[in-house]
């Protein structure tokens, strides 16, 4: 029976802790930052800790809206609140996210594509990188293994979160196993913390990158079952996908035995993919951002780092363009894969990145850049409609 408002609900304080009537309700800075104005006007809900003491990313709170701590609604903030919006400020951001199986995934990872010197890996470890993103296709896992060897030999393997990926020509079950065993042999890390299906496209063994031939003899479910077997054997601890659409992840979730925990996709202010990030989070699948800086121009020219909004926000924040772009994702609870072989940029991309936040206005400016613009795009890839999957917009349902 619905509650008619005349009597206090019987379940008050026992469930739905994200509702404001619950005694354990925890307000994020969306509303907590305007609590004084709210209390003065009769909208307060008890004393809340200062914004500086509250978690900075929605993924670690219980009352966030959207995919990060966005601006409080203008109606709640009031004219005074709008005039006194906070600037970039010191804060302690979470440095990892907890995956659905309990594993901790560091928020800033090292992308290893094109790295050919093991010293870069060693320098990254010294700086504090622990999330190491690899792939069979990169062709350099031996180099990465050389860079990890001393760290692992010192008994510090459990500090690392090592990722590799099953390439498009390895989707047949026997090839899944062979490619993962090859990756483990080259990396020499004992097991993979996360194994991703690199793309949902399957190609026949031996297909070339330039002119791939679709493999019609294998399905995604068959490839996934082979990956699940590697978890059973202890070679892999967690599974995920990469470059999957929302609909494709939903289809995989509906029939798999071990669910995917991660979808690694291109994410930056020009390609925010908010629906994908938000819906998958509610399904227990964590999106991870590759090319958070827009890529290195190897596929398409990078129009992101020098977009007029980015340097303007960077100047306001007193940070570099790259730091602002990385922060944009991690502040909304999305881990990033930052790729560089430059020692100075290795440090820039990580040092102090958890000690400050973008202001509401800076986030709004970056949000407004969204144009669905991808830099990692190929002739053979047909991207799904971003509205497929999840709940459709009313305008789509009504055909407007």
- Binning pLDDT at 50, 70 and 90, where does residue 5 land? very low
- The confidence score (pLDDT) of residue 21 equals 47
Q: Give the number of other Cβ atoms within 10 Å of residue 325's Cβ.
A: 28
pLDDT of residue 258: 98
d(CA 165, CA 223): 12
Sheet strands (E) in the chain: 89-90, 96-98, 104-106, 108-111, 131-133, 161-166, 194-197, 239-242, 262-266, 286-290, 336-339, 356-357
Tell me the per-residue pLDDT of 323-337, one tens digit each, with 9 for 90 and over: 999 999 999 999 999
Confidence of residue 209 (pLDDT cuts 50, 70, 90): confident
- Tell me: pLDDT of 381 over 70: yes
Best-predicted range by mean pLDDT (10-19, 246-255, 376-385): 246-255
Percent of the chain surpassing pLDDT 70: 74
Percent helix, strand and coil across the chain, each to the nearest 5: 35, 15, 50
Which DSSP letter does residue 16 get?
-
- CATH code, residues 96-367: 3.20.20.100
Cβ proximity of 5 and 27 under 8 Å: no
Domain spans of the chain, in order of start: 1-81, 96-367
Distance, in Å, from the CA atom of 222 to the CA atom of 49, rounded to the nearest integer, reads 50
The pLDDT assigned to 306 comes to 76
Q: What is the pTM of this model?
A: 0.80
- In the annotation, is 18 catalytic? no
Tell me which of 63-67, 108-112, 148-152, 176-180 is least confident.
63-67
Closest residue by Cα to residue 98 from 53, 60, 58, 55: 60
Strand pairing of 89-90 and 96-98? unpaired
Query: Could you give the CA distance from residue 395 to residue 247 in angstroms, rounded to a whole number?
Result: 19
Closest C-alpha to 345, from 110, 95, 90, 96 = 110
Q: How far is CA 203 from the centre of its chain?
A: 27
- Residue 127: how many CB atoms within 10 A of its CB? 14
pLDDT tier, 397 (very low <50, low <70, confident <90, very high otherwise): low
Which of 129, 138, 290, 354 is an active site residue?
A: 138
Predicted pLDDT of residue 59: 46
The whole-number average pLDDT for the span 213-222 is: 98
Helices marked H in 164-245: 173-187, 220-232
Q: Which of 76-80, 263-267, 339-343 has the lowest mean pLDDT?
A: 76-80
d(CA 163, CA 148): 13
Dist CA 359 CA 51 (whole Å): 12
The pLDDT-based confidence of 391 (bands split at 50, 70, 90) is confident
Which of 48-62, 209-223, 344-358 is predicted with the least confidence, judged by mean pLDDT?
48-62
Interval 348-355 mean pLDDT: 96
End-to-end distance of the chain based on CA atoms, in angstroms?
35
Average pLDDT score over residue span 147-175? 98
Residue 212 has pLDDT above 90, yes or no: yes
Q: What is the pLDDT of residues 51-109, one digit of tens each?
A: 334 344 444 443 333 444 444 444 444 334 444 344 566 778 899 999 999 999 999 99
pLDDT of res. 296: 63
What confidence category does residue 305 fall into, taking pLDDT thresholds of 50, 70 and 90? Answer: confident
């Amino acid at each position: 029976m619905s509650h008619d408002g005349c009597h206090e609900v019987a379940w008050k304080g026992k469930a739905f802790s994200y509702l404001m009537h619950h005694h354990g309700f925890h307000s994020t800075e969306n509303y907590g930052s305007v609590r004084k104005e709210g209390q003065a006007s009769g909208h307060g809900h008890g004393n809340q800790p200062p914004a500086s003491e509250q978690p900075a990313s929605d993924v670690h709170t219980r009352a966030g809206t959207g995919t990060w701590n966005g601006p409080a609604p203008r109606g709640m903030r009031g004219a005074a609140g709008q005039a006194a919006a906070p600037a970039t400020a010191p804060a302690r951001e979470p440095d990892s996210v907890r995956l659905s199986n309990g594993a901790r995934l560091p928020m800033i990872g090292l992308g290893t594509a094109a790295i050919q010197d093991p010293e870069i890996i060693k320098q990254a470890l010294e700086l504090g990188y622990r999330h190491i993103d690899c792939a069979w296709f990169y062709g350099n896992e031996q180099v990465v293994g050389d860079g990890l060897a001393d760290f692992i030999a010192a008994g510090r393997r459990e500090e690392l979160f090592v990722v590799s990926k099953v390439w498009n020509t390895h989707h047949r079950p026997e090839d899944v196993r062979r490619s993962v065993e090859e990756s483990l042999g080259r990396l020499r890390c004992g097991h993979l913390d996360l194994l991703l299906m690199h793309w949902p496209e399957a190609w026949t063994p031996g297909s070339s990158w330039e002119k791939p031939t679709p493999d019609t003899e294998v399905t995604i479910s068959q490839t996934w079952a082979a990956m699940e077997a590697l978890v059973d054997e202890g070679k892999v601890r967690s599974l995920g996908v990469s470059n999957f659409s929302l609909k494709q992840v939903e289809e995989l979730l509906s029939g798999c035995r071990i669910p995917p925990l991660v979808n690694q996709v291109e994410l930056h202010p020009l390609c925010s993919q908010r629906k994908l990030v938000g819906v998958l989070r509610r399904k227990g699948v964590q999106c991870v951002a590759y090319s958070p800086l827009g890529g290195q121009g190897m596929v398409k020219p990078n129009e992101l780092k020098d977009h007029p909004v980015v340097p303007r926000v960077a100047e306001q924040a007193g940070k570099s363009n790259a730091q602002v772009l990385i922060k944009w994702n991690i502040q909304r609870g999305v881990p990033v894969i930052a790729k560089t072989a430059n020692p100075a940029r290795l440090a820039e991309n990580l040092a102090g990145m958890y000690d400050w936040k973008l202001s509401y206005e800076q986030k709004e400016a970056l949000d407004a850049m969204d144009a669905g613009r991808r830099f990692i795009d190929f002739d053979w890839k047909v991207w799904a409609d971003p509205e497929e999957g999840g709940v459709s917009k009313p305008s789509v349902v009504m055909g407007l």
